[in-house]
Amino acid sequence: LFQTHMFLSMMSLLRASYLVSALAPTVALIPGIVSRSVFTGGYFPLKHSTVKSSKQRVQPMRMLGGLFDMLGGGEATLIEPSQALPGRKTKMGNISGSRHYVLGTDQEAVPEGHKVAVFANGCFWGSEKGIWRLPAGITSTAVGYCAGFTPNPTYEEACSGRTGHTEGVRVVYNPEEVSFVDILRWFWEAHDPCSGMGQGNDRGTQYRSGFYYFDDDQKRLIEASKDAYEKQLGRPITTEIAAASDYDQYGGLWYFAELYHQQYLAKPGARPYCSAQPQGVSLPDFDHWAPDDLKEKYKPTLPEAFWKAHAPRKGCSVVNSPNEPIKPGQW
């Protein structure tokens, strides 16, 4: 009764027409009357016809998300695979053959000799932009839904908390031009990896921090860097670290998000929003934490001067940075 009273009180403070438009896309996802998982910080596009209208993130949804978490007794918990939405066999439309809005490359292709990295560190808009701006070696980036249990989820479904996915970034990179540890360093420094199920005002399992490895070298580097960064921060890191193959039983680790989400911050009419919370703390020097047998193969390609000039700053400053990649030597 208390929760119902509080919910009705909050609803009365919002304009009915605005709230209804925000909630409309989620009606089909609400089990019973209200599920707390629906209000875990998700934000829902009002329309999907244009970039400007489809990507108005609704502030009341994020506000209600935080309030419902408090009323529900704490942080959101990951849904059980058996309780996840069923999903579908059909892949996301309009992704096949699409080109990166900034780099002009195929968003799906992994050229010979290239590798893939997949991570999650808050709202995927800003997470993706920070990586595509690295000065060399980034062939393509894409945003999507990773580490969940529902095949081919939609944005609304992922935001409901009922698919188990977190908003992620897929990076296709040339290891001859950029080291995996440079991508890894950007990941750590671009958010608060100690914040549990969320980043900033965006709360819910769909905003949890995670890095997912494709081979043993990636696993060892992720884990070693985590231990080093945890000591620097002085707080326990809650980042999820798991093998990409762990999700094969659910159809795979990665599903592309809708086309309007891809490189969103570079598109006309985009809202400069980012929920990530960079801590302004640098990852310790590579030689101090890297496994000895991996130091030569994975030594950083970006000099310390780059990080002094372009490392993530508090306040998620990447949203206001130029869209073009940083030019080599521009530091």
Supply the residues annotated as catalytic.
123
How far is the C-alpha of 102 from the C-alpha of 109, rounded, in Å? Answer: 16
How far is the C-alpha of 289 from the C-alpha of 276, rounded, in Å? Answer: 25
Do the beta carbons of residue 258 and residue 48 sit within 8 Å? yes
The encoded tokens of residue 298 equal 């994975």
Backbone torsions φ then ψ of 30, nearest 5 degrees: -85, 110
Tell me the three state secondary structure of residue 188: helix
Strands 202-203 and 198-199: antiparallel
Do the beta carbons of residue 178 and residue 137 sit within 8 Å? yes
Do the beta carbons of residue 206 and residue 159 sit within 8 Å? yes
Nearest to 283 by CA among 241, 217, 196, 222: 222
The encoded tokens of residue 144 equal 């999507």
Nearest to 162 by CA among 151, 152, 149, 145: 149
How far is the C-alpha of 148 from the C-alpha of 229, rounded, in Å? Answer: 26
How far is the C-alpha of 118 from the C-alpha of 131, rounded, in Å? Answer: 11
Tokens 């994975």, residue? 298
DSSP 8-state code for residue 139: E
Continuous segment of H or E residues that includes residue 135: none
The encoded tokens of residue 40 equal 């875990």
